Amino acid sequence: MSTITENKVVSIHYTLKNDAGEVLDSSDGSEPLVYLHGAGNVVLGLEKALEGKSIGDSVSAIVSPDEGYGERSGPPPQPVPKAAFGPAPVLHPGMAIVAEDQQGNQMPLWIVAVEDAQVLVDHNHPLAGETLHFDAEVVDIREATEQELAHGHVHAHGHDH
C-alpha cells in the first residue's frame, strides 16, 4: 500500500480552523486539494503531519506560525492608489498579488482592504502569526509525473501546460 513520501501527488479533504475554532478554509463540498508532497505546495506543518500516511487515514495537526505562514513582521499595511492596478481592477481583501520593486525583484503581497481610491496591501500572508488547526483525510496518493516534478507542482483540474 502506498504511503505519503516526497514526490507523491496527494489528494486530501481538509478543514482549516484558527485558535478560536472558526473555519478559515475547507474543501468541504468541492474537489479535494491535490498537491505535490515535499515541494512546499502546502505549509510545512501539514506536510509533516501527512508524511507516511495512507489512503483513508485522517490526521489532525496543530501548526505553529513557524511551520505555517510565518510570524507577522515588518511595517503595517501600506496604501497604494487604486489606479496603480490599472483600469477597473477586480480587487478584494485576501487576494494575493505580485509586486515588483525598482530593481525588478518580485514579491508577493496581499490585499487587506479595498477603499474608494486606495488599496491597503501587506507583505504578510493573511494567516501569518496564526496557529493553524488542520483536520485532513487522505483521499488519494499517486506517483508524480516527471513533468510535475520538474515544475514542482501538480498538473490537474485544468492546470495544463
Interacting residues toward Zn ion by CB under 5 A: 151
- Please count the other Cβ atoms lying within 10 Å of the Cβ belonging to residue 73: 9
- Taking the complex as a whole, how short is the minimal distance between the CB of residue 31 and Zn ion, in angstroms? 18
- Taking the complex as a whole, how short is the minimal distance between the CB of residue 98 and Zn ion, in angstroms? 17
- Taking the complex as a whole, how short is the minimal distance between the CB of residue 97 and Zn ion, in angstroms? 21
- Taking the complex as a whole, how short is the minimal distance between the CB of residue 69 and Zn ion, in angstroms? 23
User: DSSP string covering 104-125, please?
Assistant: --EEEEEEEEE-SSEEEEESS-
Which is closer to Zn ion, CB of 98 or CB of 150? 150
Which is closer to Zn ion, CB of 123 or CB of 151? 151
Match 489512503 to its residue by C-alpha cell. Answer: 55
Lookup: cell for 31: 474537489
Measured CA to CA, the distance from residue 92 to residue 33 in angstroms comes to 23
| Residue of this chain nearest to Zn ion (CB atom) | 151
Which is closer to Zn ion, CB of 82 or CB of 151? 151
Which is closer to Zn ion, CB of 41 or CB of 118? 41
Question: How, if at all, do strands 33-36 and 96-100 pair?
Answer: unpaired
User: DSSP string covering 37-56, please?
Assistant: TTTTSS-HHHHHHHTT-BTT
